[in-house]
């Protein structure tokens, strides 16, 4: 029998491993990054963005954040359209990752304005109260070296212009990190395609809520809105909300779906009930006498 022949068994086992390696590793590498695989909208990193990516790797950000959205319903609902191989043609190395201590960042670009990222990097808990991410305020003290960045771009074979290199003068590592984070997923118009109007027949389920009842909803506002709109709705990164003059349904839609071009993310993860509580709290709580 062949299983009693060690030489034949070794040859067959080696052949099986080689075939499996070809199918699972070699062929995918051959297929990826072909012209058919590329996405026209995906462009190379600028010099500032590429330096931010190097800093992202240097600081180990990829140990806590993945950069790939799997084709699962729960993932797509939370992060947006699932990732395509053509999105990563300029990533050297890939940063897909497998561990999410923090949220996935594949669709982060454009989700928040630049100022949000600066504040988040300086003091993460000022923007996300329950995060365990350490502060990176110190990287703003490190100035970039344009000539070193140019040499790295040349080594990678990435295109750059003289104007790009000159624009690095006076920039620091914080600027580069924010530029890189704003690049992630921004070449793919997934956010506009995935945004939907879901108000439909929804009506405010709390039309007669009292001021005292709304006091319990303040925590929802503080946890999700205060970082951008201020603890007392006075406006910080986002606009002032005191006396917000929106129709209830419009305000609900803005909170639930976000504003793609305005740097406001969707809060659909809160569910319709808590979004309606936010609507009522923002519109009516600060209008009540004594607040």
Q: What is the pLDDT of residues 117-138, one digit of tens each?
A: 999 999 999 898 889 999 999 9
Are residues 155 and 52 located together in one domain of the fold?
yes
Instruction: Quote the number of domains for the chain.
Output: 3
Instruction: Report the CATH number at residue 268.
Output: 1.10.760.10
> Is residue 202 assigned to a domain?
no
> Is residue 282 assigned to a domain?
yes
% pLDDT > 90, the chain:
46
Are residues 56 and 184 located together in one domain of the fold?
yes
State residue 243's pLDDT score: 78
Interaxial angle between packed helices 47-58 and 146-156, expressed in degrees from 0 to 180 and rounded to the nearest 10: 90
> Is residue 39 assigned to a domain?
no
For residue 13, name the pLDDT band (cuts at 50, 70, 90).
confident
User: Is the model's pLDDT at 155 over the cut of 50?
Assistant: yes
State residue 290's pLDDT score: 45
Evaluate the omega torsion of the peptide bond into residue 93 and state whether it is cis, within 30 degrees of 0.
yes
Radius of gyration of the chain from its Cα atoms, rounded to whole angstroms: 24
Mean of the pLDDT values across residues 170-179? 97
> Is residue 97 assigned to a domain?
yes
> Is residue 281 assigned to a domain?
yes
Residue 50, CA distances (Å) to 164, 188, 196 in order: 11, 18, 33
User: Is the model's pLDDT at 87 over the cut of 50?
Assistant: yes
126-133 contacts at long range (C-beta below 8 A, 24 or more positions apart): 126/227, 127/227, 128/227, 129/222, 129/223, 130/223, 131/102, 132/101, 133/64, 133/102
Taking the C-alpha atoms of 163, 168, 174 and 180 in order, what is their torsion angle to the nearest 10 degrees?
30
Are residues 178 and 68 located together in one domain of the fold?
yes
Domain-terminating residue out of 121, 156, 189: 189
Mean of the pLDDT values across residues 224-235? 90
Are residues 27 and 65 located together in one domain of the fold?
no
Are residues 183 and 75 located together in one domain of the fold?
yes
State residue 30's pLDDT score: 67
> Is residue 38 assigned to a domain?
no
User: Is the model's pLDDT at 3 over the cut of 70?
Assistant: no
Are residues 72 and 162 located together in one domain of the fold?
yes
Are residues 53 and 26 located together in one domain of the fold?
no
3-state SS class at 131? coil
User: Is the model's pLDDT at 289 over the cut of 50?
Assistant: no
Are residues 24 and 87 located together in one domain of the fold?
no
Q: Is the dihedral of CA 97, 101, 102, 103 positive or negative?
A: positive
User: Is the model's pLDDT at 200 over the cut of 60?
Assistant: no
Mean of the pLDDT values across residues 180-207? 74
User: Is the model's pLDDT at 114 over the cut of 90?
Assistant: yes
Are residues 125 and 174 located together in one domain of the fold?
yes
> Is residue 37 assigned to a domain?
no
Are residues 65 and 150 located together in one domain of the fold?
yes
Q: Is the separation of the CB atoms in 107 and 80 below 8 Å?
A: yes
User: What pTM did the predictor assign?
Assistant: 0.78
Are residues 23 and 62 located together in one domain of the fold?
no
% pLDDT > 70, the chain:
88
Are residues 65 and 176 located together in one domain of the fold?
yes
Domain-terminating residue out of 189, 223, 256: 189
For residue 26, name the pLDDT band (cuts at 50, 70, 90).
confident
Structural domain for 20, as ranges: 2-31
> Is residue 7 assigned to a domain?
yes
């Amino acid at each position: 029998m062949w299983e009693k022949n060690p030489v034949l068994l070794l040859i067959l086992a080696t052949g099986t491993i080689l075939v499996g390696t070809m199918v699972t590793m070699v062929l995918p590498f051959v297929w990826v990054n072909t012209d058919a695989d590329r996405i026209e909208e995906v462009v190379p990193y600028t010099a500032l963005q590429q330096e931010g990516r190097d800093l992202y790797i240097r600081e180990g950000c990829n140990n806590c954040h993945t950069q790939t959205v799997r084709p699962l319903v729960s993932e797509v609902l939370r992060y947006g359209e699932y990732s395509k191989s053509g999105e990563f043609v300029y990533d050297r190395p890939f940063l897909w990752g497998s561990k999410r201590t923090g949220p996935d960042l594949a669709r982060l670009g454009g989700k928040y304005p630049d100022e949000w990222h600066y504040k988040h990097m300086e003091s993460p808990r000022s923007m996300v109260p329950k995060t365990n991410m350490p502060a990176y305020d110190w990287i703003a003290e490190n100035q970039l070296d344009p000539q070193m960045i140019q040499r790295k771009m040349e080594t990678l074979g990435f295109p750059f212009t003289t104007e790009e290199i000159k624009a690095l003068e006076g920039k620091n590592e914080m600027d580069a990190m924010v530029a890189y984070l704003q690049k992630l997923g921004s070449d793919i118009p997934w956010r506009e395609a995935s945004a939907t109007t879901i108000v439909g027949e929804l009506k405010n389920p709390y039309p007669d809520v009292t001021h005292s009842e709304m006091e319990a909803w303040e925590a929802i506002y503080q946890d999700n809105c205060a970082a951008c709109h201020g603890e007392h709705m006075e406006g910080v990164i986002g606009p002032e909300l005191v006396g917000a003059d929106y129709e209830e349904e419009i305000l609900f839609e803005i909170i639930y779906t976000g504003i793609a071009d305005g740097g406001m993310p969707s809060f659909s993860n809160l569910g319709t009930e808590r979004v309606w509580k936010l609507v009522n709290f923002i519109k009516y709580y600060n209008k009540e006498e004594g607040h």
